[in-house]
Amino acid sequence: MSNHGGGIKRSSWLTFRRRLLLVRALLRGPATSADLVGAINRELGAQGYPEAAAAALKHDFDALKGEYGCVITYNRPARQYALEDLGELALLDLPDDSLEALAFLEASFPAGSGHPEHTNLRALLERVVLLLPPTRQQQHRRRRSATRLGGGDGGGRIDLDTLTIVKYAVEERRELAFAYLSTFDADLPRHHRVAPYGITFRPEGHGYLDATVLEVTPRGGEAIHAAIDYRLDRIVAATVMVLPTVLPPIRPTPPSYVLRYTLVSQVACRRDVAVYFPNTQISYHDDGSAEVTATITNFWQARQILLRYGDACLVHAPPELVTLFQKTAAGLGRLYATE
């Protein structure tokens, strides 16, 4: 008798586990019956679905709908099942502060964003909401976050194929080549060969490729082995190629330069000057001004950062950056010249 009871318990447990695995498979996305049966059998082996699995699969669907209120739809043209709602089969619950964080993320990455990566974030957030109990889902949908990440979708549209190829090169640690149209290239893009190391989406909305410059044709002001952030939307579509050369184990060290600049008392008198560069040292003077020294590897990036201070910042070194600021100041003078 006890053996019989143990057998029933084991059978019930296997049935429950099979249905739970079925839900997990559907949470990954729409799937055909063959895909679902294959996924379950890979997990359970001989204890999964029998060879004639159609009736058993339908029975599991009916049980999930009847016992838990799951909503499972069937797309006949695609021959795929999709999990629309878990009903009472709540696999996740969250405290109120986590729901507040979830609302913050949803407000920061709204539907319809131009960034392909934001689309993936939206899909992840929707999956998390789907796992919540019905009452918590209702509470979440009524919640409106008063805060959000700044910038959002302010950047240019990134070509999806370009992003896919760049991500592949980063993951496989392979050299990358592309035509690139920088701010100063007018309408003639130049060819860049780089060692790619990562992709970053910044708060202002732009996506960047962190890469080490290996070759530029025709040459411009870029230093070989310099670390440059390439804006992804300025890589010319259909020109990206993953090269066969594998990146070395250690990233080439870019040439470094000692940066030295002075901030006037108007921005330095509170003695809370922001640190933007590695190895920053700040010396505050009695007149309220400050002298800052640091290490930089990218002249263009340093210029963009220090331009935030406007005419409250005077750069003393390195000479290459001073020259760049002189050209910038001359250009601004031409633009804003008055009689």
Distance CA 4, CA 198 (A): 59
Cβ-proximal residues to 246 (8 Å cutoff; 6+ apart), any chain: 172, 173, 174, 175
Q: How confident is the model at residue 338 (pLDDT cuts 50, 70, 90)?
A: low
Instruction: Give me the residue label for tokens 């000479």.
Output: 319
Give the three-state DSSP class for 212: strand
Classify domain 160-246 at the CATH class level: mainly beta
Return the closest-CA partner of residue 102 out of 153, 140, 151, 147: 140
Write down the domain spans for the chain.
2-85, 96-142, 160-246, 257-336
Look at domain 2-85 and name its CATH class. Answer: mainly alpha
Report H helices in the chain.
Answer: 2-27, 33-44, 54-68, 96-108, 116-130, 134-142, 160-172, 265-268, 299-306, 319-336
Q: What is the mean pLDDT of the chain?
A: 85
For residues 218 and 158, give the distance between their C-alpha atoms in angstroms, rounded to a whole number.
Answer: 25
Is-cis flag, bond preceding 218, omega within 30? yes
- In angstroms, the CA 88 to CA 133 distance is 6
3-state SS assignment for residue 325? helix
pLDDT in tens, 255-277: 889 999 999 999 999 899 999 99
Banded model confidence at residue 9, pLDDT cuts 50, 70, 90? low
End-to-end CA gap in the chain: 106
Rg of the chain's alpha carbons, rounded to an integer? 29
Q: Say which residue the tokens 């992840």 belong to.
A: 124
Q: pTM of this prediction?
A: 0.57
| DSSP structure string for 32-64 | -HHHHHHHHHHHHGGGS--SS-HHHHHHHHHHH
- pLDDT at position 284: 95
Which has more pLDDT, 263 or 222?
A: 263
**Range 215-237 average pLDDT:** 87
pLDDT for the residue numbered 242: 97
Predicted confidence band at 115 (pLDDT cuts at 50, 70, 90)? low
Residue (of 231, 200, 210, 218) closest to 297 by Cα position:
210
d(CA 140, CA 288): 50
Residue-level pLDDT at 202 = 73
Provide the β-strand partners of residue 257.
Answer: 296
Neighbours of 209 (CB within 10 A): 25
The token duo for 262 is 């002075």
